[in-house]
Amino acid sequence: MNGNNDMSNSEALVNPASADRARSSLIGRMLRMRETGLVVIILLLFVIMTFASPYFLTWANMRAMSMAFAVDGLLVIGMTILLISGGIDLSVGSVTALAMVVAGWLFLSGVDPWLASAISIAMCTGIGAFMGFFVTRVGLHHFIVSLAVMVIARGACLLFTGGRPLGLFTLPPEFKFIGQGTIGPVPIVIVIFLVFVVAFDFMLRHTTMFRKVFYTGSNEKAAAYSGIRTKKVIFLTTTLCSTLCGVAGIIYMARFGSAQPTFGLGLELTIIAAAVIGGASLNGGSGSILGAILGVILLSLVSSSLALLDVSVYWQDIIRGSILLAAVTIDHYLNKRRR
């Protein structure tokens, strides 16, 4: 029940300031929270799978599953914040792959792996700034700009590698440790993931900086009329999202010990789906890190369950798509009633 414990820990950690208010009607508030519904669905699926497959509730499977959603979790943090500000980024999959490929290519050319990673992450920040420029200065839509960058970044991946994965067997062990090591029984990847989740969830709830992201996404013009530099906010959320792609790419590289130019095809859709299941609105102005992480966990749980149950890969996408549609529809109606 490792994954489950992690969640309750992080929930306790991210809510210190609202604890006094929550005490008054804890249960009522919990029931009204969007996250509660997701937790219930996840637990339900968990119980069902425990009975359905003997391989499900094993240390190896739990570990593999949490490793799978941990790095995607970084991407979903960036995506959620970007969605709250009113933007969207279709390039996360290919920018993550490009981060991997560029760092790997630099390493193979003799650059120190840590320096190569730093350069690669900086490049992703640059890509984010590039998209932010086109969105805020030129005035194009996030969708189109990131669609173009998605294709460009994927092309660059293939260009750097000639289309073949780069084997990075010579990576020093202390570097591979980021992706493969453990502290006690807990993989480093999970630790990094939890630190990011707690930090960003806290900042999103409590800092003026991120409150401005909500204002901007809720009503950009009203935000401008409240003296908020909305273009700057959108520029920064776009840049943050791409930067987190860079971080995720490096972790993946350390974990796989290779750089794969075709990594993350279609990943952007999973990430957006997770954020939306977790309560982010494509119209901006709403969303939460905790919800989005639960969304990633749910999707990853479903994938892993389908694989364990030997469901044909052809069916898996159909089922995942249907789950997305169902989750969002249910949420839409619940939200309507809440208003």
Partner 1 sequence: MQDVILKISNLSKSFGPVKALRGVDFELCKGEIHAIAGENGAGKSTLMNIIDGILQPDSGEILLDGVPTKIASPTMAQQLGIGFVHQEIALCPDVSVAENIFMAMTNVSKSWLMDYSALERDAEKVFRQLSSIDPSVLVRDLSISNQQLVEIAKALTLDCRVLILDEPTAALTETEAQTLFGIMRDLAAKGISIIYISHRMVEIFDNCDRVSVFRDGQHIVTRDVADLEPNDVVNAMVGREIGNLYPEKRQTLSDDVILDVRNLNETTRFRDVSFAVQRGEILGLAGLIGAGRSEIAKGICKLEGTVTGEIRLNGELLNLRTYQDSIAQGIVYLSEDRKGDGIFLDLPISSNVSALKLEQVAGRFGLISKSAEETQASELGLKLNLKYGALENPVSSLSGGNQQKVALAKMLSISPRLIFLDEPTRGVDVGAKSEIHRILRDLANEGVGIVVISSELPELIGVCDRVLVVREGRISGAVTGDAMTEENIMCLASVMKAEAVTQ
Residues that bind partner 1 (CB under 8 A): 17-18, 21, 206-209, 211-212, 214-215, 218-219, 221-229, 285-286, 339
Indicate the residue among 233 and 271 with the shorter CB distance to partner 1: 233
Phi first, then psi: what are they for 286, rounded to 5°? -145, 155
- Residues 85-96: b if buried by 16+ CB within 10 A, e if exposed: bbbbbbbbbbbb
Whether 269 and 319 have beta carbons less than 8 Å apart is answered as: no
Indicate the residue among 53 and 281 with the shorter CB distance to partner 1: 281
Indicate the residue among 36 and 50 with the shorter CB distance to partner 1: 36
Indicate the residue among 204 and 294 with the shorter CB distance to partner 1: 204
Indicate the residue among 59 and 339 with the shorter CB distance to partner 1: 339
Written as six digits, the tokens of 56 are: 């499900």
Q: How far is the CB of 204 from partner 1 (least distance, A)?
A: 11
Written as six digits, the tokens of 83 are: 């969605």
User: Within 13 Å and on the Cβ side, how many CA atoms surround 166?
Assistant: 27
Indicate the residue among 93 and 287 with the shorter CB distance to partner 1: 287
Q: How far is the CB of 61 from partner 1 (least distance, A)?
A: 40
Q: How far is the CB of 211 from partner 1 (least distance, A)?
A: 6
Indicate the residue among 22 and 45 with the shorter CB distance to partner 1: 22
Q: How far is the CB of 337 from partner 1 (least distance, A)?
A: 11
- DSSP string across 77-111: HHHHHHHHTT---S-HHHHHHHHHHHHHHHHHTT-
Q: How far is the CB of 207 from partner 1 (least distance, A)?
A: 5
Q: How far is the CB of 235 from partner 1 (least distance, A)?
A: 16
Written as six digits, the tokens of 173 are: 């062990």
Rounded to 10°, the helix 2-14/188-206 angle is 30
- What is the helix (H) or strand (E) element at residue 229, kind and residue range? none
Q: What is the dihedral of CA 266, 272, 278, 281, to 10 degrees?
A: -160
Q: How far is the CB of 32 from partner 1 (least distance, A)?
A: 11
Indicate the residue among 21 and 164 with the shorter CB distance to partner 1: 21
- What is the helix (H) or strand (E) element at residue 174, kind and residue range? helix 173-180
Q: How far is the CB of 216 from partner 1 (least distance, A)?
A: 10
Q: How far is the CB of 196 from partner 1 (least distance, A)?
A: 18
Residues 6+ apart with CB under 8 A from 99: 120, 121, 123, 124, 245, 246, 247, 248, 249, 250, 253
CA-to-CA distance for 287 and 85, rounded, in angstroms?
10
Indicate the residue among 4 and 15 with the shorter CB distance to partner 1: 15
